[in-house]
Structure 1
């Protein structure tokens, strides 16, 4: 039992490290999208990002000789590819052109809440009180960050609707991806999901060619960066971590992103955050800490099993499905 306990903690540690890589890279995408989005239309930017990611992932898949995923994984791969890799990236790029960054952040950050609810409904995942409380704290922090970043008159109905659609497709994609990871590797699920998303975005090919011809080099570099790191690498590490915990807990982890965006904007763009932004970022981090915490385990109590027999009660492992 000791060896399995150590193995479980080691696996959880690797999953947490993988999730950390994902959220850091997704936060860095904020700066790159702002640069590339000035030169590329929403569909063209999504397609260019997905094509770059597909090429990198395809090379790794060929080197590892993993081949095609089992048939049982394809439904989840196809759904996550269409919803998360394809539709989500297009509507998010479009939405962020219609509303200010703060409004977009507030609306899109209902995504983790939807993931937890959909995970409970379709995956049979529990909603531990600490997860619910932590998500509530983090969402309050995301709202604070959004309010502090919102510009006057920067929101419109179309932009809010697009950001809401982005949150829904993001949540649906995560929940669809979870079952596929029971049958295929993280690399397989990510590569073929990215490929499905790229194929779905092929109607924007002409726009991508036209935009690339006129785009300055830094914008194109940022588009390729989005494909290689926040897509190919971050989505693979995300899938690795998602396979080892619940969709709800993974969704709550992404509330770290607003806090990291504030920090990166401060360091890279020299944008000094307001006090409300700092408070919101701190709440986001605190909420993630609460959502990932676990009750103190008690290993010394006993439970009766049958008449006159008692065994030590196994501590409950919260949030894990595998």
Structure 2
């Protein structure tokens, strides 16, 4: 009996290796989102950047749906949930995030987004999606402490961002917490491709009313190549690849275990700045990064917090 249990645990860990590798890729993509967003907004208003991002990504998702076996549209009973997830992902989360980022700093945004795992964990507990675990709680708080240490070393204390900008980013984080928590059962029921595609197309449709006022095609097409490349990065890598990975992971493990990986983003950004921009490395990276890794490890090694959500056959 003991051997079979050990083998089952080892088999589960091995099967989750691909999930964690995918989440690391998602972290690397997301780490560049702050930089791409800041660069695009040097030449274009936040609403224009967000609009182009979702219109382009929605086009890609429509193509994915066209070549994905199964239903192309969500069941009528799910339209309200699809619109809710689209509203959280697009008009609320991204509009608030980009407007907040335009008034704040990338360091402040990274710190506030580090609250995501704690928010997802608490909301999952409140909704009955997960059970309380002292190891998960300790892991989340340890990772959050690591992010604080890391960002203090990168000048968080001296980085000035307006209170309005930080409040807008905090509201965006809250929307992302709800999107992650409520998106898990939806992704488990319909699969990562369909669930992500439906919610992101819904996000683009909800942004259509502002298109005549914010699309600014002439101004956008006359922007510099780095600005256009930043929009392409946001549309293809962040909104398609990273979102698909996020929902894929949500079908495999609990929402809090997925969310904890977002705390690796500041460390990944610091390493990228060292490799690409030649910034120096400080002791805070080793200490903060170590705490984040320890927190992620603690959270992932906690006992399962929720049973699997049954997948609907389509």
- Give, in whole Å, the separation in 2 of the partners of 1:186 and 1:58: 14
Which residue does 2:21 correspond to in 1?
Answer: 17
Query: Which residue among 251, 254, 260 is the counterpart of 2:259?
Result: 251
5+ long unaligned stretches in structure 1: 295-316
Question: Is 1:209 aligned to 2:216, yes or no?
Answer: yes
Shift of 1:161: 0.8
Tell me whether 134-143 or 26-35 shows the greater mean CA deviation: 26-35
Cα gap change, 1:266/1:202 in structure 2, threshold over 3 Å: closer, same or farther? farther
Out of 22, 41, 56, which is 2:45 matched to? Answer: 41
Following superposition of structure 1 onto structure 2, how do residues 148-167 of structure 1 map, counting pairs within 5 Å? 148-150=154-156, 152=158, 154-167=160-173
Secondary structure at 2:215's aligned position in 1?
helix
What CA deviation, in whole Å up to 9, does each residue of 1:211-268 have, x standing for no partner?
Answer: 4044212211110121111110111111111011111111112111111111112222
Q: How does 1:187-202 map to 2 (within 5 A)?
A: 187-202=193-208
Which one has the bigger helix percentage? 2
Using the alignment, how far apart are the partners of 1:64 and 1:49 within structure 2?
A: 22
Structure-2 separation of matches of 1:154 and 1:281: 23
Aligned partners of 2:123 and 2:184: how far apart in 1?
11
Which structure is larger by alpha-carbon Rg, 1 or 2? 1
Inter-partner Cα distance in structure 1 for 2:288 and 2:10: 36
Q: Are the counterparts in 2 of residues 77 and 176 from structure 1 also a CA contact under 8 Å?
A: no
Distance change >3 Å, CA 226–CA 16, structure 1 → 2: same
Question: Is residue 105 from structure 1 mapped to residue 113 from structure 2 by the alignment?
Answer: no
C-alpha separation between the residues in 2 aligned to 1:240 and 1:269? Answer: 32
CA contact (8 A) 1:174 1:247 kept: yes
For residues 77 and 7 of structure 1, the distance between their equivalents in structure 2, rounded to whole angstroms, comes to: 34
For the Cα contact (< 8 Å) 1:31–1:265, is it kept in 2?
no
Determine the structure 2 residue equivalent to 1:302: none
Q: CA 1:184 to 1:27, structure 2 compared with 1: closer, same or farther past 3 Å?
A: same
* Map of 2:241 onto structure 1: 233
Taking the aligned partners of 1:208 and 1:150, their CA distance within structure 2 comes to 34
Separation in structure 2 between the aligned mates of residue 207 and residue 269 of structure 1, nearest angstrom: 33
Aligned mate of 1:30, from 16, 31, 34:
34
How far 1:169 sits from its partner (Å)?
0.6
The alpha carbon displacement at 1:117 in A equals 0.5
Could you tell which deviates more after superposition, 90-99 or 274-283? 274-283
Task: Answer yes or no: is 1:319 the counterpart of 2:305.
Answer: yes
Deviation at 1:209, TM superposition (A): 1.7
- Change in Cα spacing, 1:259 to 1:180, as seen in structure 2 (3 Å) is same
- Kindly state the Cα deviation for residue 108 of structure 1 after the two structures are TM-superposed: 2.4
Task: Describe the SS at the equivalent of 2:271.
Answer: helix
Task: Give the TM-score normalised by structure 2.
Answer: 0.87
Tell me the TM-score normalised to structure 1 length.
0.85
Unaligned runs of 5+ in 2: 309-314
Of 221-230 and 122-131, deviating more is 122-131
Distance in 1 between residues matched to 2:228 and 2:54, nearest whole Å: 13
Superposed, which structure 2 residues align to 1:14-93 within 5 Å? 14-66=18-70, 67-93=72-98
Relative distance call for 1:29 and 1:255 in structure 2 (3 A) is same
Give the aligned length: 300
Equivalent in 127, 132, 153 of residue 132 of structure 2: 127
Partner of 1:221: helix, strand, or coil?
helix
| Alignment partners' CA distance in 1, 2:67 and 2:74 | 15
Provide the C-alpha distance between the structure 2 equivalents of 1:163 and 1:101, rounded to a whole number of angstroms. 10
